[in-house]
Structure 1
Amino acid sequence: MFTSLRKKFPAAIIQNHYPTSLESTKIWFANEEEDEFIGIDRSEITQEEMELLHCLFKEIINPSGSINDSPDSMEWFNFLYKNGPMPSNIDGEFRIIQFSMKESLDQLLLREAFQHLLPLNTILVLQDDNMGLLIEGKNEWNLDEEQLLSISHVIESDFFVSLSYFIGQFHEVPQFPLTFKYERELFSFSRTVQKQAFIQSVVTVLPEFALHHLPLEWKRQIFTKVADTFQEDSELIHTVKAFLEHQSNISQTAKKLFMHRNSVQYRIDKFIEKTNIDIKTFQGGILAYFACLNFQSDNLHKKE
C-alpha cells in the first residue's frame, strides 16, 4: 500500500523493517498488516495529509522521549508509547486530555508555556512539536472546557498557534494502554471531520465515528427519506438538529434560531409527518440525529 504513496511523496523511504533512525526531519508510519514502514519528510507533508495518514496508519513515535525530562512525564511516556511498566505513585482514576496544534512549536517553548498555566498536579507529556498529553488524576479541581480554552488563548496569543483538545474518560491506570489506543483514534478522526471544534470528547465524536463506519448501503436505506425531506426544505435540518441538541426543548430551540416557538413546533411536526420519525421520543431523536449528521456529511463532500 505504501508504494502507491510514492506518487504523492516521491522522496519517501519505504522499507520492511523498523526504522533504526528516527530523525526529526521525517515522520514515520507503520502499516502493521503488511509489516511496512514509510518515512516522509516533514517539509513535504501538510497538516491535513498528516491527519489523514494518522487515520490510516500508526505513527512511529521517537522512543527517546528526551523532552519529557521529569520523572512523571518519562514514566507516562514509556507506559503509553513504549509498553513500559505502570507509572509509580498512582492512586485512583486518571484521564488523558490529548492536544494538537495546526502549527509546530519548539517543544521547550511549549513545555514552558504549559507548565506556567497548568494546575500543579497535571502531568505534561509531549509527543512531538505539535501534539501532547495532559494527564490528570480524578479530583474536584480537574480542568474543564473553560479552563482549557483560557490556556489556549494565552498560548495562541504568545506563539500564534491554534490548539484543539480531546478530553478522555477517567479510568483505572491498568486499562490505559487499550483505552488510550481508542481515544487516540477518536481524536485523529475528529480532527479530519470536525475541524471547527476546539474541544472534543467521546460524547461528541462517537456518533459521527459510528456513522462513518456504517456501510454505505445501510445509510442509503435508512436515511433516504430524511435526506429527501431535507432536500425539499433546506432550512428544516437546522431546526431539527437544534431541537435535538437542546434536549427537545421548543423554547430553547426557538431562542437559538431566533424563531417564534410556534414556527419551531410547526417545523418539528412537519418533519415527523414527512419521515414518520417521532423525534420527541428518545429513540426517534437518536435516529434523526444520525440522519442529520449523514446529510451534512454527504452535502459537505458534494461541495468539496
Structure 2
Amino acid sequence: MNFKEMKLLYPEAVLTHSNTSGEKYVAFPYKDKWIQLERKQKSDTELALIQYALTQKKTSSTRSAASKWQSFLLEESFALPRNEGSYRIIQFEIVKMDDTFTQSVWLDAFKQLFLNIEEAFFITETKGILIEEKHDHLLNNEEMAGIIRTLDDDFSIKTVYYIGQFWPIEATLPQIFKEEQSIFDTQKNKQAQVFGLSTIALHHYTADAIKKSPLMQKLKSETVFDAEFKELILAMWKSQGNISVAAKSLYIHRNTLQYRIDRFHQASGLSLRNMDDLLLCYLLTLN
C-alpha cells in the first residue's frame, strides 16, 4: 500500500516529517516520512493490518518473485540464469518522485523501451536494474536519453542511468556487476542523465591516482584553470583536438578559439593543439 492508496481508505491521512504517535494520532513510517492517522475508532487489529500492508508493499516492490537473474547477480545463487548469450545490465535510480509514483507502473513503461529484455526489477525503493540481451537494434545513449526525458515528464520524476557493457554469461558476471554498481554510485552525480563506461572510464580510473600524486597536484596548482580555460579544454577534448568542431560547440569563431588557445599556452606552457598536452590538461581538470 502506498500513500495514495491509504488516502482512499482513510481520507484524514497526512504525511508528516516526524513520529506524531500519541493518544490522538498513530503514525507509520513511510519512506523518509510518516503517515499520520487519527487513532479513534481503530482497533489494534486494524492498526496491525495497516502496518502489515505498508510493510508488504515495500517487500513486494523491492524484491519481486524469485528470479534466477536477481539471485545470480546479487550472489544469492551460483546457478547461471542462461547457458549462453551476451547481456548488458542497465542500472537506474529514481532520484526525485512524488507520492503518486508507483514502481510497477513505471517499470512496465520503462521496459517498453527495449526489445530483448530478460528481466527488470527494483533492488531498493529507488534503485533497480534491467537486463537486455544483445541484438541488432540497440538504442544508443543519446537516443535513450531523449526517450527517457519524455518518460520522466510523463511520470513527474527524475532518473539517472548507467548503461553497462555486454558480457557473456559466466560465473564472474556478479563481480563485474559489483564494479559497475560502484561506478554508477560514484559517477551518477557528475555525468549526464544517461552514461556508460566509455564516458567515465578516464575520470573514474585516474581520479584517485591524480589525487595521490604530489607531482600532479603541484602542476594543477601552478596551472591557470579559470572557468574560461576549463571550458576551452573540455571543448577541445570532446572534439579530440578539432578546432572547427570545438569552436562550433562553444558558439565562437574559429579565430577566437585560436586566440584563446594561444593565451592558454602563454599562461601554462601547454599547447591544446598537441594531443599529449591536451590529455594532461584534461586530467588536471577532472578533480
* TM-score in terms of structure 1 length: 0.66
Mapped partners of 1:293, 1:221: distance in 2: 15
Partner of 1:168: 164
Aligned-pair CA distance for 1:236: 2.3
SS of aligned partner of 1:293: coil
- AA partner of residue 283 (structure 1): D
Are residue 245 (structure 1) and residue 238 (structure 2) matched? yes
Aligned-pair CA distance for 1:262: 1.6
Cα gap change, 1:151 to 1:77, in 2 (>3 Å): farther
- AA partner of residue 186 (structure 1): I
Gaps of 5+ in 2: 1-18, 20-27, 35-57
The answer as to whether partners of 1:103 and 1:130 remain within 8 angstroms in 2 is: no
Number of residue pairs the alignment of both structures matches: 233
Partner of 1:267: 260
1:229-240 maps to which residues of 2 (within 5 A)? 229-231=224-226, 234-240=227-233
Match for 1:188 among 185, 189, 194?
185
**Identity rate, percent:** 26
Partner of 2:175: 178
- AA partner of residue 208 (structure 1): H
**92-101 or 151-160: bigger deviation:** 151-160
Rg bigger for which structure? 2
Aligned-pair CA distance for 1:179: 0.9
Match for 1:100 among 93, 96, 103?
93
Cα gap change, 1:121 to 1:245, in 2 (>3 Å): same
Partner of 2:276: 283
Aligned-pair CA distance for 1:166: 0.6
**Cα RMSD between the aligned structures?**
3.0
Aligned-pair CA distance for 1:67: 4.8
Q: Deviations over 1:88-139 (max 9, x none)?
A: 3342322111111113543222332223343243521321232111212222
- AA partner of residue 236 (structure 2): F
1:111-130 maps to which residues of 2 (within 5 A)? 111-130=107-126
Match for 2:77 among 84, 87, 96?
84
Aligned-pair CA distance for 1:203: 2.0
The answer as to whether partners of 2:265 and 2:272 remain within 8 angstroms in 1 is: yes
Mapped partners of 1:136, 1:147: distance in 2: 16
- AA partner of residue 201 (structure 2): L
1:59-70 maps to which residues of 2 (within 5 A)? 67-69=63-65
SS of aligned partner of 1:186: helix
Partner of 2:196: 201
Are residue 215 (structure 1) and residue 212 (structure 2) matched? yes
1:289-300 maps to which residues of 2 (within 5 A)? 289-294=282-287
Cα gap change, 1:66 to 1:98, in 2 (>3 Å): closer
Aligned-pair CA distance for 1:239: 1.6
The answer as to whether partners of 2:61 and 2:103 remain within 8 angstroms in 1 is: no
The answer as to whether partners of 2:163 and 2:194 remain within 8 angstroms in 1 is: yes
Cα gap change, 1:87 to 1:141, in 2 (>3 Å): farther
Cα gap change, 1:235 to 1:114, in 2 (>3 Å): closer
Aligned-pair CA distance for 1:153: 3.2
SS of aligned partner of 1:177: helix
**272-281 or 284-293: bigger deviation:** 272-281
The answer as to whether partners of 1:272 and 1:278 remain within 8 angstroms in 2 is: yes
Partner of 2:139: 143
SS of aligned partner of 1:133: strand
Mapped partners of 2:217, 2:146: distance in 1: 42
The answer as to whether partners of 1:107 and 1:128 remain within 8 angstroms in 2 is: no
